[in-house]
Structure 1
Amino acid sequence: MSDARWIRVQSAFLEAAELAPDARSAFLDTFCEGDTELRADIESLLASDNWSTDAIADAVHDEAALLLDDRNLTGQRLGPYRVLHEIGRGGMGTVYLAVRDDDQFQKQVAVKVVKRGMDTAEVLARFRHERQILANLEHPYIARLLDAGTTPDARPFFILEYVDGKNIDVYCREQKLSPAACCRLFLRVCEAVSYAHRNLVVHRDLKPGNILVNADHTPKLLDFGVAKLLSNEGDGSTTALPHRPFTPDYASPELVRGLPVTTAADVYALGAVLFEMLTGRRAQSITSSTPSEVERAVCEIEVTRPSSISSGLNADLDNIVLMAMRKNPARRYSSVDLLAEDIQRYLDGKPIAARQDSYLYRSAKFLRRNWLEVGAATAVILSLVVGLAISVDQSRRANAATQAALAERQIALQERSRAEHQSKEAMAAREAEATQRGIADQQRLRAELRATDLLQLSNHSLFEIHDSIKVLPGAIAARRAIVKSTLDYLARLEKESTADPRLRLTLSAAYYRLANIQGDIFGPSINDFAGARESLLHAESLLRPLYEKAPSDPQLLQRWIEIESALAENTNHIGNRGVAEASYLKLLPLTHRLAQISPDDRIAKTHEAHIESRLVYVVNPDQFAAAQHHATRMVQLYSELVRRFPNQLELKQHYGGGLATFGNHAMRTGNLEVAADAYRQAIEIRETLLAADPNNAVSKRSLLVNYGNYATVLGLAWMPNLGRYADSRAYSQKAVTLARELVQSDAQDTNARYDLAMCLSRLGMVQPDPGGESSSLASLSEAIALIEPIYAANPKSTPVAAQLSMAREYAGHRLRALGRIDEAIRQYQQAIADAEGAMSGGSGSLTVQAFVTEEALADLYATRKDSTTALDFSRRAIARAEAFFRSDPNSEPRAAHLARAYAELSAIHRSFGQHGEAREAAQHALTLWAPVRNAAAMFSHRKIAQETRDYLNTTTAQSPR
């Protein structure tokens, strides 16, 4: 602004400030004469002048306090933390580097303290708001809140994870990252912001200075001081600009204008950050801090295309950035996930959503991805063109001969016409005869036609299309479309008639295949298990009268086995293991009979092996002999099938699954080396299959399951294991890598997200190396975040509830090891609540999970010298374990669990010097353990059993005779 113009603005402001508020508008109309920019500058000064005298006095007081406050916290202790030196200052507080150096461990942290003079009610409220937001966010790419408290002079502080890193734009520049590498790094930032959004938090101040990249190339999102909780939004506040803290260079138009802020503001800021990472320059450079200039720069000036600033950037990156930074929030990416998805599509060389979806654009992308195939096809087309030219030349030469043959063809056509006329007369006579047969025959013909129509639908809509896409990543939307269209069509066809046996059989087959798409436990599906059960029951009702009339018909028998097997697995999935076991046992003789009826039918012979495999899983864990029988028989059947049909890849996939099942049984019986060997064989088979077809999602998922199995037997604490923890972590990480690939391929696939959560849980549960607790906790926290929405949608699912509860239990263990005791207690308590929430079906795994976590809480409170709470949790665990044992008093694992609960009670009594009660509980534990002979049942109890035995021996020797 020129000096002359500033003098004019100032004089007008001074004159208008003396006027009554209702007279100012008329004065400005006259003074400004339509100069809207001049009027905006004057009004901004008037708005600032309208702050109350108290507000101005407070501001002056605050600034004076900041200037006069030379007190530094360096060298002081804040709880267990010793402050080293100041590392930064912000609007609300000062940040120090500190170290925890108590008896627990040493660890560098960042301490954020409210400045003296800034401890007003508003600032303190904002400070506490930031602390609460951080307490609710646990993500590997977000700096974690570790602790909180107040300084000796009553200023609040909180302890944050210290990130020794560089601003993300500086990191990209110094590392000379390519555009693709920048995008891959940026995807991690998007993942963190998306996680915050899922937890109803908008950051509102995303910028390179709040995103640091450490030496491990990991980004960390910082500073939620101006974040907004969406759940508390709704006042539509339009506070004046000076009261809204933000960084103008990265602020969205709605943030600048004081409009309600949504996640779209973070999308805009992320676009600005990506712009700077790619070009080294800011997307919107603010040259003046006046409100009108900030608003004009942000809300009116369009963003420059990144490629015009930096070479090496193409139109796709331009359009991604520009779509993220559109001035109208409704025209941006509707979520951070969609922004990340477009960036991933750019990296994969696929069409992006942020540009016109033209034919030429898609064609160009297709050619880049498939140049080899297109080149081959082009060669074929060229050869066809050459051949066509030769054919045309030959055609000319043959033209004369053709003319001579026309006369003969004319005669032949006349004869054919007479024959067709006679045929039509004969057809009319047959139709008249059919009409005379009556309405019943017409209905039968119509039913047959409809059955044929349905067969075509099944083959083309389900059997062919779905089978061709089910192994492809990213097919979830297509599978949903198939389900919807097929359900509608089946309903229409079923109204025609179900009296015809052929129609009933075909409808039954269609509903069975539809159920697999809705909720297949073993393969890709849309995760609608309730819908799958409904379709299976419908298929069963359609097939039942046909099967009961001809139970030895191989086609009907095979269809019946498929439907009943799928129903049994659906039943097991919702937690009714006993019902599922009974169903499988009933099916076993039917599968054997089918194999005898159709000895050369590969699929028919596969059913018996599959049912044996499922029985290994669902028989009561105590029935080791029965499980061993089924496991041995299963391996024999699959081995014979692979030898007989060596070129069938699907059979090899099943064989790999059978070996894994055998390994699971061996692990449960304590034969750990046998289990490990079975898993290794399964991995070798499935790695070969995946190498042959790297994009096969089914093969990829099967392999990650086997990696997880192997990792479990190598070193997962809650199962019998070989104690090879480093190897266990390595295979767990392999499983995580494959699971991430599947999620990235299809973010809508709930099964893929659940698989990733299970893999991350396993990685976090493996015993970490010293100092590895934080990394372990990060894996568990990410797993919990993935499982929570799945659990919310399936609150009665036993496997989901057990997985979530166990992940929380181990998160509690890691938090306790890190000294974050209050957080550990919350995780333990939530683990119990999750288990109890799905326990209505009487699941043994959930019951064990609940009382094991209660034992952990009892031990934790004992270390805190809280005898009342410690004993309370210990007795709760005993009561739950006793009820579990009484329901099956012959169960060795249940007896061992109850013995452990009494041993834990004994240990707690000992810690408080209550040796009479301790000896009584210890004796009870040893009495329960005495008859337990199964090694697997005793695996996790061996250490505490020996400690209990040693305690009794010592106290007995010391007691007077």
Structure 2
Amino acid sequence: MDIALERRALRTFEESLMEAPDARDAWIAAKCGDDPQLREAVRALVDAARRSTAFPTEAPSARARPATIAPPERIGAYRLTERIGSGGMGDVWRAERDDGLFEQSVAVKLLRPSLYAATSAAYFDTERRVLARLRHRNIAQLYDGGADPSGLAYFVMELLTGDPIDHHVRRRKLEPRAIARLVIDVCAGVQHAHAAFVVHADIKPSNIIVDGDGVVKLLDFGIAQVLTAQPSDGADESGAYPLTPAYASPSRLAGERPTPSDDVFALGVMLYELLVGAPRDAAARLPLSLASAIDVGDQRMATFEGDLAFIVARATDPRPDHRYASASALATDLENWLGLHPLAARDRDWRYETSLFIRRHRWGVTATVAALVGLTTALVVMGVLYNRAEAMRVQAEQRFGEVRSLSKFQIFDLYDALAQTPGTTETRFRMARVAQGYLDRLARAPSTPPEVRLETAAGYIRLAQVQGVPSMPNLGDLDAARANLARADAMLAKTDLPGASLERAHCKLMMATIAIQSDQRMDAAKALVAEAERLLGAPTDPISARWLDTQQSLLLRQMEIADWEERYDDVRIIGAKSLAALDTWRGDMRLDDRYPVWRAGVLSKLGNARWYLGDREGGLQVFQSADALLREALVRMPNSTSLIKALIVNNYDVATTLDSLGQTRGAIPRMRESLAYGNRLLSFESRDHNLRRLMWRQQSALAQLLASTGQFRDALREETAVVAAKQAYRRAHPGEIRAERDLAFDTMVLGTINWRAGRRAEACRSWAEAEQQFLSLKTRGVLTPWDTSTQLGLLSNNLDVCARRKPASAIRLET
């Protein structure tokens, strides 16, 4: 099934859940009309959801298992003393530390072998280290994890005493307001984990304990995802994740990757069940309705028909884009409900807000009615006497300033803050687009000051970045990005205010990035970079962070062009200049993630230059210095998406260099780590096209490493998945040069792996297809000299072997 059909089917499936169960099939038939493929795909999703079982949590591919796991006497420094629980993932034991260093009681979860076997040891190790960094009052602390000498996998966790949250609510007969406060605490823990790119994937009452002090603790955070997610694509061979269907969103039931939105859905279901006091009906229409869950005349009806019902319905909407955007947004509206404030997610009108105001201030409103009548009369008289023309002028100026300030705040301050928050690519786009609408209207006004036009141009650049500028989080809309950059450039060319030249230099570099990385037009890129260098000029006094960032972007683009043109000595010269410039950054400028990310990017280019000049050991040393820099920075800033992405790129450099030096087995764990990090980011930024491309590159590299070690079945599975994904991307983005070139390259790689696996006919077919794709680019004048000499040369040679014009010994398998 192609990606477009999958998305349409999933969207239709989600919408169908809003219909009554007995009317659902008829609704699907009418919705799909004369599209039999869509109808078949939707019905398959419905059937899969109907077949789902409710309890316990388990991997769908798991086979029948014994009731308990035979435990060892001890795990590391801990002696197992008492089995205190058992679940779908394994058994939980109380354990005591007895190594003499200090006393400590912990919980040890022994994992079922069928679950641990689905994941490589390297991936497991990476994930458990990420989870161990989660430190929050409402998350049970994970201390350690690994496997004992016999291969039994385990987690060592905080030992908790208390009741599951649903038992706690029933035993204490808590009222809705007390339940809301508990769920707010749960949301706080969930949001903290989401900020660290960790999805729980199995939120339910039994995974939430309320201890003796009334503190909420979430258990098993992210462990379900750790155990069963394959490093390559995030799913086990069945394509499914462990879940508890009663709390699973429609997309989870359909086998999709867990996302933060799915955690929000589970929170909404749990809130519903805690309020109602009973599990939801599996056949209930979505979103869930509190009022329909209780009998007419129930004293809770008044509570369940208002804002609380809206919160539950919003959280359990079957359509992800209609749910709360985050756990913190859900918590905010629960706090608003508790304080009788308007809900942030609800459309407002004066009647709604007035009614809440009166409920908050019932006695004060009553006491001041008479005074308000007198005051209103006085205000009317004063209004008549006031100079109306002057009032209108002042009001217009005030509104102009307010709109301008709001737009600036949205496009710059709020945009930059959101850029550091996971899962906000599309939110930033929508926010910038709305703010841009304000600025557009201001810029068209005849009396608009020049500084507002400058802000408008800067807004266009921000909008273009999130629309489709490569190397940045973007939504893959290259045409829109080009159009907005052109608009910004035209506006800036007519502006001579301070800062306009710097902003225009930045704009030119965004254009150059597209020319290099998407269009592969180096002549156009060189002209844009030269113009940017002229506009950048001498540094400001004092030097601003904006100027320094633009300088590094300029030098990096120059290195990219030299790299594409195989001018590796020039890469080294420019790289030395870039490092020297970074050495001048003040100490306070080196505290955030910008400095290590820029420096690692330069080192990547320098390491590649050494590699291509024949100094592979020297290249490895450069890559390893970047590795040390990034890992040190990640200790200080573990949730920086920029640092994580830079580490993924550097792992690729290190792994491919190790492979070229004959150290392939040492390279594979690097790629596993990259895929673990990347899959975590994709759970939050599924629409980030730059991230998807980055992860395809890692997956393809892993496939080649696996082939080098003789693991051909796994290698072919990985590379076939990459080629299929790139084919779908090219269909969705016709005419995009980078998409065509990337597909040609990976088709060539698939041929190489097939040849190594002894599948000669399949290899020759892939090479022939790749050659045609490269030749198509060459005909249009967009193939780089490197691809012309290297890739087409290799393909021509290998196809001669396929045609028996050359002996098999002439085959070339390097990529």
| Greater relative contact order structure (CA < 8 Å, 6+ sep) | 2
1:321 and 2:321 are equivalent in the alignment: no
Cα pair 1:598 1:604 within 8 Å, conserved: no
1:673 and 2:617 are equivalent in the alignment: yes
User: 2:482 aligned to 533, 545, 550, which one?
Assistant: 533
Give the corresponding residue for 2:465.
516
User: How far 1:617 moved relative to its partner?
Assistant: 0.7
Query: Residues 348, 618 of structure 1: CA spacing in aligned structure 2 closer, same or farther, 3 A cutoff?
Result: farther
Aligned length: 514
1:64-111 deviation per Cα after TM superposition (whole angstroms, max 9, x unaligned): xxxxxxxxxxxxxxxxxxxxxxxxxxxxxxxxxxxxxxxxxxxxxxxx
Cα pair 1:512 1:536 within 8 Å, conserved: yes
Letter in 2 for 1:849: Q
Which stretch of structure 1 is more off in the superposition, 488-497 or 508-517?
488-497
Letter in 2 for 1:857: L
User: 2:797 aligned to 839, 849, 855, which one?
Assistant: 855
Q: How does 1:195-344 map to 2 (within 5 A)?
A: 216-217=117-118, 321=245, 333=250, 337=254, 340-341=257-258
Letter in 2 for 1:602: A
**Cα separation, 1, equivalents of 2:395 and 2:470:** 37
User: How far 1:215 moved relative to its partner?
Assistant: 9.5
Query: Residues 798, 680 of structure 1: CA spacing in aligned structure 2 closer, same or farther, 3 A cutoff?
Result: farther
Cα pair 1:711 1:729 within 8 Å, conserved: yes
Give the corresponding residue for 2:694.
755
Query: Residues 829, 702 of structure 1: CA spacing in aligned structure 2 closer, same or farther, 3 A cutoff?
Result: same
1:473 and 2:405 are equivalent in the alignment: no
Letter in 2 for 1:870: R
1:609 and 2:548 are equivalent in the alignment: no
User: How far 1:614 moved relative to its partner?
Assistant: 1.4
Cα pair 2:703 2:718 within 8 Å, conserved: yes
Letter in 2 for 1:468: A
**Cα separation, 1, equivalents of 2:243 and 2:566:** 61
Cα pair 2:473 2:689 within 8 Å, conserved: no
1:556 and 2:504 are equivalent in the alignment: no
Query: Residues 910, 779 of structure 1: CA spacing in aligned structure 2 closer, same or farther, 3 A cutoff?
Result: closer
Give the corresponding residue for 2:634.
690
**Cα separation, 2, equivalents of 1:488 and 1:870:** 63
User: How far 1:801 moved relative to its partner?
Assistant: 2.8
Cα pair 2:464 2:481 within 8 Å, conserved: yes
1:747 is paired with a residue of what secondary structure? coil
1:356 and 2:249 are equivalent in the alignment: no
Q: How does 1:643-792 map to 2 (within 5 A)?
A: 643=587, 645-715=589-659, 721-766=660-705, 768-792=707-731
1:474 is paired with a residue of what secondary structure? coil
CA RMSD in angstroms comes to 4.8
User: How far 1:743 moved relative to its partner?
Assistant: 1.6
Query: Residues 624, 646 of structure 1: CA spacing in aligned structure 2 closer, same or farther, 3 A cutoff?
Result: closer
1:674-725 deviation per Cα after TM superposition (whole angstroms, max 9, x unaligned): 322222222222223333333332222121111112222222xxxxx43322
Cα pair 1:791 1:797 within 8 Å, conserved: yes
**Cα separation, 2, equivalents of 1:576 and 1:457:** 38
Cα pair 1:714 1:728 within 8 Å, conserved: yes
**Cα separation, 2, equivalents of 1:606 and 1:590:** 14
Which of these two proteins has the greater Rg computed from alpha carbons?
1
1:521 is paired with a residue of what secondary structure? coil
Letter in 2 for 1:321: P
**Cα separation, 1, equivalents of 2:289 and 2:505:** 48
**Cα separation, 2, equivalents of 1:696 and 1:322:** 34
Cα pair 1:471 1:696 within 8 Å, conserved: yes
User: 2:63 aligned to 151, 170, 173, which one?
Assistant: 170
Query: Residues 344, 591 of structure 1: CA spacing in aligned structure 2 closer, same or farther, 3 A cutoff?
Result: closer
**Cα separation, 1, equivalents of 2:676 and 2:783:** 31
Cα pair 2:475 2:688 within 8 Å, conserved: yes
User: How far 1:180 moved relative to its partner?
Assistant: 6.3
Query: Residues 645, 490 of structure 1: CA spacing in aligned structure 2 closer, same or farther, 3 A cutoff?
Result: closer
Q: How does 1:358-373 map to 2 (within 5 A)?
A: 359=308
Query: Residues 357, 579 of structure 1: CA spacing in aligned structure 2 closer, same or farther, 3 A cutoff?
Result: farther
User: 1:870 aligned to 793, 804, 810, which one?
Assistant: 804
2:423 is paired with a residue of what secondary structure? coil
Letter in 2 for 1:537: A
**Cα separation, 1, equivalents of 2:288 and 2:469:** 37
Query: Residues 638, 488 of structure 1: CA spacing in aligned structure 2 closer, same or farther, 3 A cutoff?
Result: same
Give the corresponding residue for 2:171.
none
Query: Residues 472, 179 of structure 1: CA spacing in aligned structure 2 closer, same or farther, 3 A cutoff?
Result: farther
Cα pair 1:346 1:352 within 8 Å, conserved: no
**Cα separation, 1, equivalents of 2:468 and 2:442:** 23
User: 2:527 aligned to 574, 578, 582, which one?
Assistant: 582
1:26-85 deviation per Cα after TM superposition (whole angstroms, max 9, x unaligned): xxxxxxxxxxxxxxxxxxxxxxxxxxxxxxxxxxxxxxxxxxxxxxxxxxxxxxxxxxxx
Give the corresponding residue for 2:536.
591
**Cα separation, 2, equivalents of 1:631 and 1:449:** 50
Query: Residues 807, 173 of structure 1: CA spacing in aligned structure 2 closer, same or farther, 3 A cutoff?
Result: farther
Cα pair 2:470 2:690 within 8 Å, conserved: no
Q: TM-score scaled by structure 1?
A: 0.47
User: How far 1:616 moved relative to its partner?
Assistant: 0.7
Cα pair 1:798 1:846 within 8 Å, conserved: no
Q: TM-score scaled by structure 2?
A: 0.54
**Cα separation, 2, equivalents of 1:311 and 1:487:** 44
Cα pair 2:468 2:478 within 8 Å, conserved: yes
Letter in 2 for 1:709: D
Query: Residues 498, 713 of structure 1: CA spacing in aligned structure 2 closer, same or farther, 3 A cutoff?
Result: farther
1:843-899 deviation per Cα after TM superposition (whole angstroms, max 9, x unaligned): 12443423422322322x2xxxxxxx333xxxxxxxxxxxxxxxxxxxxxxxxxxxx
**Cα separation, 2, equivalents of 1:525 and 1:338:** 25
**Cα separation, 1, equivalents of 2:767 and 2:604:** 32
**Cα separation, 1, equivalents of 2:605 and 2:289:** 48
Cα pair 2:460 2:488 within 8 Å, conserved: yes
Give the corresponding residue for 2:760.
821
2:520 is paired with a residue of what secondary structure? coil
Cα pair 2:675 2:698 within 8 Å, conserved: yes
**Cα separation, 2, equivalents of 1:728 and 1:179:** 36
1:445-498 deviation per Cα after TM superposition (whole angstroms, max 9, x unaligned): 999767634532333322233322223332244234225424544444343337
1:842 and 2:782 are equivalent in the alignment: yes
User: 1:629 aligned to 561, 573, 577, which one?
Assistant: 573
Give the corresponding residue for 2:167.
none
1:305-325 deviation per Cα after TM superposition (whole angstroms, max 9, x unaligned): xxxxx996999999963699x
**Cα separation, 2, equivalents of 1:311 and 1:333:** 19
**Cα separation, 1, equivalents of 2:528 and 2:452:** 27
Give the corresponding residue for 2:744.
805
What 5-or-longer segments of structure 1 have no aligned partner?
1-165, 183-211, 220-309, 325-331, 382-416, 436-441, 716-720, 862-868, 872-904, 912-937, 942-961
User: How far 1:665 moved relative to its partner?
Assistant: 2.8
User: How far 1:216 moved relative to its partner?
Assistant: 3.9
Letter in 2 for 1:731: R
The structure where helix makes up a greater share of residues is 1
